[in-house]
Structure 1
Amino acid sequence: MTLSPGPPPWPIPPSWTVTTPSAATGPPPPAEPVTPPSGPPHRTVALLAPDDAGVRDVLGAVPGVRVDARSIPAPAPGFAGVRDLADAAARALSEGADGVVIVAGTEAPDETAWALDLLHPGDAPLVLAANPDHTTDVADAISVAAAAPYRAGCLLVTRGEIHAARHVRRIGTDALVLASPGAGPMGHVTAGVVRLAWRPPERLTLRGGTDGTAGGTAGGTAGGTNGGTHGGPGGGSPRVGLHTVTLGDDGELLGALAERCDGLIVTATATGGVPPEAAGALAGASARIPVVLVSPIAHSSLPVTRLDPLKARVLMHLLLAAGRDRDAVIAAFAAAERPGPAQL
């Protein structure tokens, strides 16, 4: 997917400024603080946070924004917690919020942001504060939610940086060190001023949004086969394996993993290939379950994706949980690789 830097086609609010394309490679120049507008607040941002999040100090920190603080339970582990957050955001938007900020510590903020992006079919922005313990991150997230253009999807704010859910990932061992390799931050927040370095990427969303009932049937009875035995409606949470092909990989561990999975994401070698010893295991697995190769180049017998491995796994999990069979999952990944927005 090609990202086009430069002025976006939407109307830009006064507090949302756009840098020139050359500025996208580095931090923006210092910005003056936003002058608080006169009159009543003109945008409403729903702030979803557990009772113990300690966000009271930021409720009036962003001029011109009405913050509707809503208490939510601490997220459950795994995808169940992500769906709870998506449902809470959908309720807030249906009740009149212009944008939503989620302040909840998650075990994987980059994966959570991507899952929320896929599950959120609407136009209003969702913003995840990566570090809910830092009031600056929360205030910055409110500024972004109030100023972000529609169709921006889910954005993640951390340490003054704005990251698109499609690109952000955790780097190193610190869960709160986040970056967008190959793309860079989508923008920055300085003293309440939101500065955009490049336009949001075209969005991928799941048909059916948060209801998890979109398309296909579990067990592969509609247009394809799926030999997995764990996932899909009525069958519990799907198991999606993640395997990285490494030096000396003989395919034995890969084959054993595939036997326990409903779907499989495999990261290719640095050259985009798969050793012959592992190719046989992949061929056998792909006849039974959806197998997608993370690779920058096409493969002769397997579908490929340029999503990073963790995001590819999240997408496959949500597709299988919605009841998609093997062929439907492969078709969705193919659609995700084509330019432009897509509803999968």
Structure 2
Amino acid sequence: MKKYLFVLMLFISMATLAQKSITIEDFTMRPTFGARSVSGINWMKDGKFYSSLQNNKVVKFNITTGEAVETLVDGGALSPALNIDDYSFSADEKQILISTGFEPIYRRSFRASYFIYDIATKTVKKLSDNGKQSYATFSPDGTKVAFTRDNNLFYVSLNDMKETQVTTDGKFNEIINGSTDWVYEEEFGFTTAFFWSPDNNKLAYYRFDESKVKEYNMQKWNQGATYPQDYKFKYPKAGEANSVIEIYVYDLSTQQKIKADLGSNTDIYIPRVMWTKDANTLSIRRMNRLQNQLEIMHLNTISGAISIVLTEKNKAYVDINDDLTYGHYVSFLHQHLMKIKMTSTP
């Protein structure tokens, strides 16, 4: 018996010595304990295929066999030839929105040139000739594309390529329309701050007034430059003034806009905005500066009436996520799974 115990202890000791010691770097610098995931694929709507950018081509793959079944677009074969940085499909998957000439700004923000490719006709059209754009997005029916440029919001009707400017007051370090300031990009994790309504006829968007936010100064080296240049941008530190947020809804048919009444307290966050299934009801999440109270609000985009449908409080903080689904009921997950019956009016 003692012999067996000795052998067992010997094997355990050898196994322990063979194991590598866990270091701080395993948690901070290496993906040792990180979740493994698959990147670079886009699911097709039927769930049987996916697409991926391979050697400047958007290729369609069979999910069961893993084999390529079709090249949807070849950037090098287009006229003009394009180096595809990224792409997205229209909802019916008949058009592809191609981005090229990618220029990063901060962690998530960027500028690019966009092109619309028709899969059936194999034709390509440039979205705009008036400078690079950001966050170009198809309308649900694929007939329009909205984007931001120079802190303003625009959309293009694809049938005649007419460009319409929705906002005009955008200015660097002062006013941002349709995209986010540094705080929202970094802390709330998004940059596209405009949203198509389900009926394709409205655009909800954020407006950030960062004119009162203090500036941070840093030196920026441009490629090929001998000396750095001063770069100033709005960077609120803890306890300092944040941007003042406003939410607007623009009606494409009337070219009129309404402003959501977010209350008299402007020292708040609006971490998420989304449309419900009703094209006349916009869901807005309002959070206090301390981030321990979250309110879900519904804006009637016809009357302008707004109401609070749920308030969540926590002694520490309320987490922000995208687990919110609208149907006949609104369901969402924070600390608990909840369901609220929708009504015809806010």
**TM-score category of the 2 structures, normalised to the smaller one:** under 0.3
Q: Normalising by structure 1, what TM-score?
A: 0.25
Which structure would you say has the larger RCO, counting Cα contacts within 8 Å and 6 or more residues apart?
Answer: 1
Q: Normalising by structure 2, what TM-score?
A: 0.25
Query: Which has more strand, going by share of residues?
Result: 2
Query: Which has more helix, going by share of residues?
Result: 1
Larger-Rg structure: 2
